[in-house]
Amino acid sequence: MRIFLIAFLCMATSTAGLAADTLARARETGTLRLGFRADAPPYSYRTTSGEPSGYIVDLCREVAAGVKKAQGLPSLKIDYVEVSSTARLDALRDGKIDILCDPTSMTMSRRAIVDFSLPTFIDGAGVLHRTNDLSRLEDLRGKKIGVLRGTTTEDVLKATLTQLGIEAEIVPMQAHPDGVRSLSAGKIDAYFADRGILSYHLLNSENRSGMKLSDQYFTFETYALALPRGDEKLRLLVDATLAELYRTDRVKQIYARSFGSFPPDQFIRALFVINGVPK
């Protein structure tokens, strides 16, 4: 029995030692590795000059600044590691990156392999339409509606129209810019996609004044920074950094860089209020 207890304690100690300690590794190497996507604007993408950019990437930069301050590492190097949508969580789990800075939705199945920070964004399917053309979904009856081919948004759109008994022509698109251009040119009457993506393309459209983003959400997804599982010190520092941003006006400046003038819609405002946790 004594031998069994000793073996059990040794195993427990060994397992505890496997827990990630990102901050200790950053102190030893002088580097913090931020995973980002090249293809997920306005949240996480690569600019034409090759620089990582986006709203969530900017939040990660604030976190990196928090790590520098908390760990006393003024020369901490930020290493940006590009990850794909299919391998991003594996890269975090396998220790190739320290923080995942992209629009990753929190789900229970994902929490089995990674941890998550406080929420960074609430997004969901929305509709972009020409000004004054749409006040309710029923106004789409008999219209042409664009949506990105093979997405969950396409499935939700079809199901919603069927449920409401609205007959309309669904026009699949290969890319979001194609949908926005088709709407601007009058080839379709509305375009459905994630609201954050629509906001980005509307902000960068040459015909911004002729289009409007509806306030209505048709689905909801909560994004958060994915973190190494079991790294409580890192998670506390990340959450403290985000909470401070939400409590102050600094988050407004970060938001405006990617989405335009503040304030955002009611759900994002609520997210900032709810997650602006006191010190």
How many residues can be counted in the chain?
A: 279
Average pLDDT over residues 108-135: 89
Give the Cα separation of 108 and 140 in Å (integer). Answer: 35
Is the pLDDT at 4 greater than 60? The verdict is no
Is the pLDDT at 278 greater than 70? The verdict is yes
Close Cβ partners of 124 (under 8 Å, ≥ 6 residues apart) = 194, 195, 217, 218, 219, 220, 221
Give the Cα separation of 145 and 277 in Å (integer). Answer: 41
Check: pTM over 0.95? Answer yes or no.
no
* Tens-digit pLDDT profile for residues 217-242: 888 889 999 999 999 999 999 999 99
Is the pLDDT at 135 greater than 60? The verdict is yes
Report pLDDT for 19.
57
Angle between helices 266-274 and 232-247 (to 10 degrees): 120
Sheet strands (E) in the chain: 31-36, 39-40, 44-46, 52-53, 77-82, 99-101, 115-123, 125-130, 144-148, 169-173, 190-194, 211-213, 221-227
Close Cβ partners of 163 (under 8 Å, ≥ 6 residues apart) = none
Report pLDDT for 205.
85
Of 2-6, 138-142, 224-228, 271-275, minimum mean pLDDT range: 2-6
- Across the chain, mean pLDDT equals 87
Average pLDDT over residues 100-111: 90
Is the pLDDT at 11 greater than 80? The verdict is no
